[in-house]
Homo-oligomer: A and B are copies of this chain.
Amino acid sequence: MGTGVKHLLDFQGWTVEGIQGILETADVMKEVLERPVKKVPALQGITVCTAFFENSTRTRTSFELAARRMSADVLTFAAGASSLSKGESLRDTIETLNAYKVDAFIVRHHASGAAHQVAKFSGKSTINAGDGRRAHPTQALLDAYTMLKEFGKLEGLKVTIVGDILHSRVARSNAELLDLLGADVTLCGPATLLPKELQKGRVKLTNDMQAAVKDADVVMALRLQQERMNGGFLPSMSEYALTYQVNERLLELAKDHAIVLHPGPMNRDLEISGSLADSERSRIIAQVEYGQAIRMSVLYHLLVGKK
């Protein structure tokens, strides 16, 4: 076991086999999470540092719980609350944390590319937990895993991702991963929020919601970052919801077995209708559950055997 890869920053340099290894080990971890005692000793004595330069209790919590369930020690570094926000450079902060002798970093940062810098500065195994608009690979892995558990395979699935594609690291990482694994991806949103360079391989762009959702197996609604509204990128929220809300009426165009995903947290009745989120089509809670298994699996592949 083990992928031979040291970091998970994005999917550059990852092979289909490496990714399949992660998805297979996630099955083992999923089974661990169904036991009364949800703990394995794989990372005993290992210290994992969550370095979050952007506030995200949800993602940090998911990673820390996954690490602790592998018996790792966790060093929480939430930079928002820190004196290190007093003008210290990213490099100095990481070199300081590194000098505490941690074995791996899990990084979230508002700047695209920050996770690569952490990997370089620290020399330690680094997991990107979201950097700017660039990548959020464990989210894409848990999304792929959710589809796999539903349909048994990813090849040939039609996956439609709806929302502010331009600013979304979730959309970018999903497009990268799903293309690699053989799914057909349609990215859909207002024309101003569809970056042309994402159209390649099996990935298509459109601002036509009906066409995008037609015959889809999976429809993913992205969280609408309400702070974007001020940037002039989007009209009013109600106008956005009128055209781009993922809801039950829209889903009638998709395949009968189509499922709905959302990376959370949701703005109910904005980017997704509350009734659809609570319907039988929704796998939103499953995504969160599988996120634990995926993160445990990623930690396993990157860290076991490096002690």
**Chain A interface, number of residues (Cβ within 8 angstroms):** 52
A20 at the interface (CB under 8 A from B): no
Stretch among A89-97, A151-159, A171-179 lining the B interface: A89-97
Residues 97 to 114 of chain A near chain B (Cβ within 8 Å): 97, 99-101
The one of B226, B264, B288 that contacts A100, using a Cβ cutoff of 8 Å: B288
The one of B58, B88, B285 that contacts A84, using a Cβ cutoff of 8 Å: B58
When C-beta atoms are compared, the residue in chain B nearest to A93 turns out to be B265
Interface residues of A (CB under 8 A from B): 33, 36-39, 44-45, 47, 55-58, 61-62, 65, 68-69, 73, 75-79, 81-84, 86-89, 92-93, 95-97, 99-101, 226, 264-268, 285-286, 288-289, 291-292, 307
Contact A289 B101 (CB under 8 A): yes
Contact B47 A36 (CB under 8 A): no
The one of B55, B81, B268 that contacts A57, using a Cβ cutoff of 8 Å: B81
When C-beta atoms are compared, the residue in chain B nearest to A262 turns out to be B92
The one of B36, B47, B87 that contacts A65, using a Cβ cutoff of 8 Å: B47
Chain B CB within 10 Å, residue with most, of A61, A97, A286: A61
A93 to B285, CA, bound (A): 11
Contact A39 B45 (CB under 8 A): yes
Q: Which residues of B contact A86 (CB under 8 A)?
A: 226, 265
A128 to B246, CA, bound (A): 36
Contact A289 B99 (CB under 8 A): yes
The one of B45, B81, B292 that contacts A81, using a Cβ cutoff of 8 Å: B81
A303 to B222, CA, bound (A): 38
Contact B96 A264 (CB under 8 A): yes
Contact B83 A56 (CB under 8 A): yes
Knowing A268-B92, A288-B100 are in contact, say whether A81-B62 is a contact too (CB < 8 A): no
Contact A268 B89 (CB under 8 A): yes
Contact A73 B68 (CB under 8 A): yes
A61 to B75, CA, bound (A): 7
A265 to B86, CA, bound (A): 8
The one of B39, B69, B307 that contacts A37, using a Cβ cutoff of 8 Å: B307
